[in-house]
Amino acid sequence: MELESKYDIVIIGSGLGGLGSGIILTNQNPELKVLIIEQHTIPGGYVTGFYRKGYYFEPGAEGFSSMYEGSALRKTLDEMEFKHEYIKLDPLETYYFDDGKKIALYYDIDKFLNEIEKAYPEEKKGTEDFLNECDMILGKYMKGEDIEEYKDWNFYDLLKKFIKNDNILDIFNLFCLWFSESIRKMKATTGATMVASILKTGVVYPKGGMANYSKKLADFFTSKGGTIIYGKKAKKILVKDQKVAGVLLDDGKEILCDWLISNADVKKSMLELIDEKHLDSEYLKFISDLKQSHSGVMLFLGVDMDLSNYPSHFLISEDIDCIDRIEEGIFEIKKLAIRIPAIKDPSLKNDGKYSIVAFIFSPYDWNNMWKSGPGGKRTLEYRKLKDDLIDEMIKKIETVIPGLKEKIEVRMLATPLTFDRYVLVSEGAWFGPYSFSKLPESKTPIENFFLVGASVEGGGVPSALSSGFKVGKNLLNLLKK
Ligand SMILES: Cc1cc2nc3c(=O)[nH]c(=O)nc-3n(C[C@H](O)[C@H](O)[C@H](O)COP(=O)(O)OP(=O)(O)OC[C@H]3O[C@@H](n4cnc5c(N)ncnc54)[C@H](O)[C@@H]3O)c2cc1C
């Protein structure tokens, strides 16, 4: 594609933050010349999917919260007439515990409590009381009232007040894992408001899959006059007179712009793409000290097997300490999360065959960078380590899906190095910088330069998309002045 030499607005990256800002800008002002530069060959960043030998895999987001009908995000998308069908994930998650018990987390509280009663009857009352307490906390939070009684409590202690069995605690640990946060570090009020609000509003899956959803957003952007260029990396942000003048691409081409939005990882944007002389030392230190969320390993299996009787999302084994261990640099395959996309949307089957995505958090630099050494070279040792991990993970999955090993037609493993390579996120972090720390503002110290995505608003699709919407709207207002 022949690019123009100058655009009104350039956006680096087509993650949901980049796409969100792009669609707002082009929708509200079709006169604007907006360019998205994406280094990958497809849009979406972590909202993505790929095919191998006919099998469809999703290496990132599995569902969206805050996307229920009437939510702020849906209203914004509806106003732009971006239409899409969403499938509610119910049960939200299913748990296969080591003691052989199985519990599905349904939104219908009676149905969920019934599951608890069947597995651990003595915990039904405590679980019910815990859920009521979460409702009370959410109610106070919505009214802006102080929740004094739990001000200094962590989520683990709140759960322990009502529930004795750690397996049930692990059900609610799910909401901590969404941010790769330890259950003992998550604030009680944050965990409780999340439990109460998610159980009311639900998590949805975009029909057709994640890759299709991002592609549809990208097509929507271009249908409104926006331009996307794929396979080109922004190599440098060009600054003149303390303002962004444009972007240098990795093929040597310079694109000039009046405004720049970066959806790239904030550390890479501020510490690599822009020359440090344009930023003060305090800001640079703040960015460089940002702690990243955790990354992990992800297994992709294509299997010639009927998996239609399994839940779309399930967890094998309990492990409430998984994040604490990772913070100490320890990696063990104790608990596995399994996703089967075609259970959510049968159109994603491979001629009746199923793909499985299995994952677990891990330290970024475990075992001498996964035996690749500091340069991240994909050595023979790296490949052997991956192969061993694949076998170990398959063994674990077979505790719930017996006979799986014999039916595998595709097997691949991604390590944190893979996530870094494909999305260019520092340390391959799954949710950008650690969401509960002070994050950078979308407005940077450079007047015509903004940040969007998980780097500024915290991990998750809703945060990334809404940050894109906010920055887009803000820029439209600035342009009116
Ligand atoms: C395994 C996993 C599971 C997850 N599950 C969920 C979930 O179920 N629900 C949920 O809400 N969230 C989930 N998330 C988190 C969520 O997907 C992300 O927080 C969110 O999508 C991040 O969006 P973003 O806008 O920050 O952009 P990113 O997704 O980080 O994308 C950034 C884009 O910028 C591009 N880019 C970077 N640098 C350059 C450059 N120099 N030049 C050109 N292009 C560049 C990248 O290629 C990429 O396309 C999950 C993430 C992972 C990894």
Mind listing the pLDDT tens digit for each residue in 91-107? 999 999 999 999 999 99
| Boundary (domain end) residue, out of 201, 235, 257 | 201
Give the containing element (helix H, strand E) for 56: strand 55-57
Domain span holding position 132: 101-201
Query: Which of the four pLDDT bands, split at 50, 70 and 90, describes residue 211?
Result: very high
Whether ligand 1 lies within 6 angstroms of the CB of 62 is answered as: yes
Number of domains the chain contains: 3
Query: Which of the four pLDDT bands, split at 50, 70 and 90, describes residue 368?
Result: confident
The predicted structure's pLDDT at residue 464: 98
| Same domain flag for 237 and 119 | no
Ligand 1 atom closest to 20 (CA): 25
| Rounded-to-10 torsion of CA 229, 234, 235, 241 | 120
Query: Which of the four pLDDT bands, split at 50, 70 and 90, describes residue 481?
Result: confident
CA gyration radius, the chain = 23
Query: Which of the four pLDDT bands, split at 50, 70 and 90, describes residue 373?
Result: confident
Question: What is the residue whose two structure tokens read 């707002």?
Answer: 24
Any domain includes 348: yes
| Same domain flag for 137 and 184 | yes
What's the rounded Cα separation, in Å, for the pair 203 and 436? Answer: 21
Whether ligand 1 lies within 6 angstroms of the CB of 456 is answered as: no
Whether ligand 1 lies within 6 angstroms of the CB of 63 is answered as: yes
| Same domain flag for 447 and 397 | no
CATH assignment of the domain containing 28 = 3.50.50.60
Query: Which of the four pLDDT bands, split at 50, 70 and 90, describes residue 379?
Result: confident
Tokens for 98? 């080591």
| Same domain flag for 232 and 154 | no
Whether ligand 1 lies within 6 angstroms of the CB of 425 is answered as: yes
Question: Which residues lie across from 206 on neighbouring strands?
Answer: 86
Residue 375 reports pLDDT greater than 90: no
pLDDT digits (tens, 9 = 90+) for 391-439: 999 999 999 999 999 999 999 999 999 999 999 999 999 999 999 999 9
The predicted structure's pLDDT at residue 175: 96
Residue nearest to atom 5 of ligand 1 (CA): 61
What's the rounded Cα separation, in Å, for the pair 292 and 47? Answer: 19
**Cα separation values, 8 from 38, 179, 188, 239, 285, Å:** 17, 35, 45, 15, 31
| Same domain flag for 407 and 422 | yes
The predicted structure's pLDDT at residue 378: 85
Whether ligand 1 lies within 6 angstroms of the CB of 175 is answered as: no
The predicted structure's pLDDT at residue 36: 98
Question: What is the residue whose two structure tokens read 């639900």?
Answer: 202
Ligand 1 centroid–CA 218 distance in Å is 15
Residue 252 reports pLDDT greater than 90: yes
| Same domain flag for 256 and 354 | no
Any domain includes 185: yes
Ligand 1 atom closest to 425 (CA): 30
> Mean of the pLDDT values across residues 196-225?
98
Contacts of 168 (CB under 8 A, 6+ apart): 103, 116, 120, 123, 126, 127, 159
Least confident among 1-5, 204-208, 382-386, 446-450:
1-5
With the C-alpha atoms ordered 461, 418, 368, 337, is the resulting torsion angle positive or negative?
positive
Any domain includes 73: no
What's the rounded Cα separation, in Å, for the pair 97 and 90? Answer: 19
> Mean of the pLDDT values across residues 223-231?
97
Whether ligand 1 lies within 6 angstroms of the CB of 389 is answered as: no
Angle at 98 between CA 57 and CA 370, to 5 degrees: 50
| Same domain flag for 396 and 301 | yes
263, 45 contact by CB (below 8 A)? yes
pLDDT digits (tens, 9 = 90+) for 139-150: 999 999 989 999
| Boundary (domain end) residue, out of 428, 452, 469 | 428
The predicted structure's pLDDT at residue 2: 86
Whether ligand 1 lies within 6 angstroms of the CB of 13 is answered as: yes
| Same domain flag for 302 and 420 | yes
Residue nearest to atom 10 of ligand 1 (CA): 460
Residue nearest to atom 45 of ligand 1 (CA): 13
Residue 285 reports pLDDT greater than 80: yes
305, 272 contact by CB (below 8 A)? no
- Angle of helix 188-201 versus helix 155-162 axis, rounded to 10: 70
Whether ligand 1 lies within 6 angstroms of the CB of 340 is answered as: no
| Same domain flag for 281 and 299 | no
Across all residues in the chain, what is the average pLDDT? 96
Tell me which residue of 40, 15, 43 sits closest to 232, measured CA to CA.
40
Ligand 1 atom closest to 359 (CA): 1
Ligand 1 atom closest to 43 (CA): 49
Q: Which of 251, 263, 269 to mutate to test the pocket of ligand 1 (most atoms within 8 A of CB)?
A: 263
The predicted structure's pLDDT at residue 1: 77
Residue nearest to atom 41 of ligand 1 (CA): 234
The predicted structure's pLDDT at residue 133: 98
Q: Where are the alpha helices (DSSP H) in 53-165?
A: 72-79, 109-119, 124-142, 155-162
